[in-house]
Each structure stands twice: as C-alpha cells, then as structure tokens.
Amino acid sequence: MQARFYRALYRIRRIEEEIAAVYPTDKIKSPVHLSIGQEAVSVGVCEALRPDDVVFGSYRSHALYLAKGGNLRRMIAELYGKADGCAKGKGGSMHLIDIEARVMGASAVVGTTIPQAVGFAYALKLQRKDSVVASFFGDGAVDEGVFHESLNFAALKGLPIIFVCENNRYAIHTHQSKRQKLDNICDRARAHGLPAEQIPNNDVQRIYERISQSVGQLRAGSPGPFFFECLTYRLKEHVGPNDDFQLGYRTREEAEAWVKSDPIEQLRAHLDAAERRRIEMEVEDEIKDAFVFAEQSPWPEAAELYTDVYGE
C-alpha cells in the first residue's frame, strides 16, 4: 500500500512540477491551478474508490483527475489546447473530464459541481447501482449557498455520496479566519445531518482508511452521505507555476511546516531504495511520453469552433 501511495503522490507531484517548468514557455494555453502540496487528499480518497465510482472537482483538479485514473496524455494535451486533449481543447485545465475514469467534470465557479455530484448520486440510487460519488471542493466553497442546499438534499434523500472538503485555509489569498467567524466546517455538515470528521495534516493513510470504511457502508446499503474535511496546504500560488510568499498574505514558515510533514517525503523514507527508483523512473518515462504526445498532437480544426454546442 505504501508503494501505491508513493507512486500516486510522487506521480502527481512530478507532473505538476513539469507543468510548472514548461509554463514559462507559453506552450500551455490555460491558466493552471496546481495541486502541489494537496495531492494526499485526492490520492487517499481515490485509492479507496472503484473504477466505476464517480468524482466531481473544482478548478484545482489535476490531482483528482490523475488520482482517479484520468488519462495523463490527454490531460497534458488539453493544457496545450490540442485536438487530443481530454476535452478536445475546449475545456482547459479548469474543466478536466475523463468519462472512462468517471471523472465527470470540474468547474471554475466555486462550489458549482457540488449539486451535480448530488444529482449523479440520486441517479445511481434510482438506478439501483452500488457505485458511489465523491464531491471535491475547497474551504471557499463552504461559504457558498449551494453547498448548504446540496448537503441538505443529499442528507434528506440518504444519497451514496462522500463530500470531501480540501481545506487549504485560503480562498485565493484570503484566509478562512477572514471569511468565517468560526472554524467549524464539520459542524456545518453536521447541522444538515451528516456525520462529519476532520482529518488533519495531509494524512493520506488515514484519509484512505476512513473513506474505505464509508464507501463500504454505502455499498452495503447504509444511507449516506458522509462528510470529511481534510486539512491540506497549497504550496504554489493560487494560479500559475510560482511561489507567492512575496505577496505577504502568508508566511514561508507556515508553508515550511507542511513541507516538513510532506507525505511524499515520509513515504519515500519507508520504501526500499530499488523499488523507489523503479517507481520514479517509470513515472518520469510516463511524463516525458505525455508531454511529447501533447507537443505532437495537432491543433483542433477550425470547424471545431462550431461543434458540440447542441446535440442535434
């Protein structure tokens, strides 16, 4: 399991680092909201899901897309705006989708995919399927009215959905304490009748265990939903490839505490050196291949501008 976690976390970290490295060349035609520092939440949750389970995310969903099994080549091609992108170059970094991997979409408008995840869960229940849905959003989204409306309805109908709040404490540059009188995100969920739990410190193992348990209960027919607030930290700027400590809204010391407890470093220490090297080499090959694929993929045809507006 540790090797699996390490591979998944390292892979996302390295992909994001490569995106950051390429970004100044202007080959990437999309604003990027990098997941560096927050990989543990997506990996911990998605490792506990089946391929037929469904996820919805936010504009910061590279980690979610990759952790759920989204196609890497097509993700990089999407960032490049190429025809082989996961949305043919019509979505961009903020609207990743992979139908086969059941990554069902991501939105630039905060909180917007939460009710879609709930609606998908409603359909799964009606269709008597035993798949579950995981809805990912940040601590900014819990300020939106739709968050409360969605949790209430999901609880009212006992839907097979797990809400995952990735709390990195910041909505762009504004700390949670400047937006919320109380640090009580789990209480907000409990107020709607959901069992809720906070998992601190990017604890990938704990996230995996708790989600596995919840998913097991949902599949056994217990009513949902479940709510988890996973404390995590964004190491790069809100949008773009750089550090942003010079802006002064947060300190380097605050970030260093998270760097010290980085699960990638911790897992690395536990792995056999040969196995670690093998994983890292495989990941590096996969990344190289994906960027070459994106470089070589053609631009969309001009006619694509007018397709996909309507079905018929």
Partner 1 sequence: MASETKRELSYIDAVREATDQEMARDSSVILFGLDVDDPKAIQGTTRGLLEKFGPERVFGTPLSEDAMTGVAIGAALAGLRPIHVHIRMDFLMLAMNQLINIAAKSRYMYGGQVQVPIVVRSMIGKSWGQGAQHSQGLYSFFMHVPGLKVVAPTTPYDAKGCLVHAIRDNDPVMYVEHRILHFQRGPVPETSYTVKPGKARITANGSDVTLVGISYMQVECLRARRYLESVDIDAEVIDPIWLSPLDIDTIVESVRKTGRLCVVDNGWSACGASAEIVALVIERLQQIRPVVVRRLGFAPVTCPPTPILENLYYPNASTIASAVYDLVRGGDNGWMPKERLDLQEIQFRGPF
107 binds partner 1 (CB under 8 A): yes
Is position 312 an interface residue for partner 1 (rule: CB under 8 A)? yes
Rg (CA), the chain: 19
| Contact partners, residue 190, CB within 8 Å, separation at least 6 | 196, 227
Q: Which sign does the torsion angle of CA 11, 16, 22, 27 carry?
A: positive
Choose between 113 and 202: whose C-beta lies nearer to partner 1.
Answer: 113
User: Is residue 266 a contact residue for partner 1 (CB under 8 A)?
Assistant: no
Choices 86-94, 211-219, 248-256, 284-292 (CB under 8 A): range interacting with partner 1 = 86-94
* Shortest Å, Cβ 98 to partner 1: 9
Contact 292, 84 (CB under 8 A): no
| 75 makes contact with partner 1 (CB under 8 A) | no
Q: Which helix (H) or strand (E) holds 309?
A: none
Residue 273 burial (10 A CB sphere; 0-12, 13-18, 19+):
exposed
Residue 295 CB, nearest distance to partner 1 (Å)? 20
Contacts to partner 1 from residues 116-155, by CB under 8 A: 116-124, 126-127, 145-146, 149-150, 152-153
234 makes contact with partner 1 (CB under 8 A): no
Given 3-state DSSP classes, what are the helix, strand and coil percentages for the chain, each rounded to the nearest 5? 50, 10, 40
Confirm or reject binding of residue 193 to partner 1 (CB under 8 A): no
Interface of this chain with partner 1, residues 28 to 67, rule: CB under 8 A:
54, 56
Is residue 302 part of the contact set for partner 1 (CB under 8 A)? no
Residue number with CB closer to partner 1 (8 or 154): 154
Residue 231 Cβ, how far from partner 1 at the closest point, in Å?
A: 26
- Taking the least distance from each CB to partner 1, the nearer of 114 and 290 is 114
DSSP conformation class of 98: B
Q: Is 247 left (phi over 0), alpha (psi -120 to 50) or beta?
A: alpha
What DSSP state is assigned to residue 95? G
Closest CB to partner 1 among residues 104, 199: 104
- Find the helix packing angle between 39-46 and 2-22, rounded to 10°: 140
Residues 165, 252, 109, 230, Cα dihedral to 10°? 0
Q: Is 115 in the site for partner 1 (CB under 8 A)?
A: yes
User: Using the rule CB under 8 A, which residue among 156, 172, 259, 292 binds partner 1?
Assistant: 156
Of 214, 185, 233, 267, residue with least CA distance to 39? 233
Question: In the bound complex, what is the minimum distance in angstroms from residue 151's beta carbon to partner 1?
Answer: 9
> Smallest gap, in angstroms, from Cβ of residue 66 to partner 1?
17
Q: Is 112 in the site for partner 1 (CB under 8 A)?
A: yes
Distance set, CA 74 to CA 135, 234, 292, 309 (Å): 22, 24, 11, 21
Q: Which of 220, 248, 269, 310 binds partner 1 (CB under 8 A)?
A: 310
Residues binding partner 1 (CB under 8 A):
54, 56, 85-91, 95, 97, 99, 104-105, 107, 109, 112-124, 126-127, 145-146, 149-150, 152-153, 156, 307-312
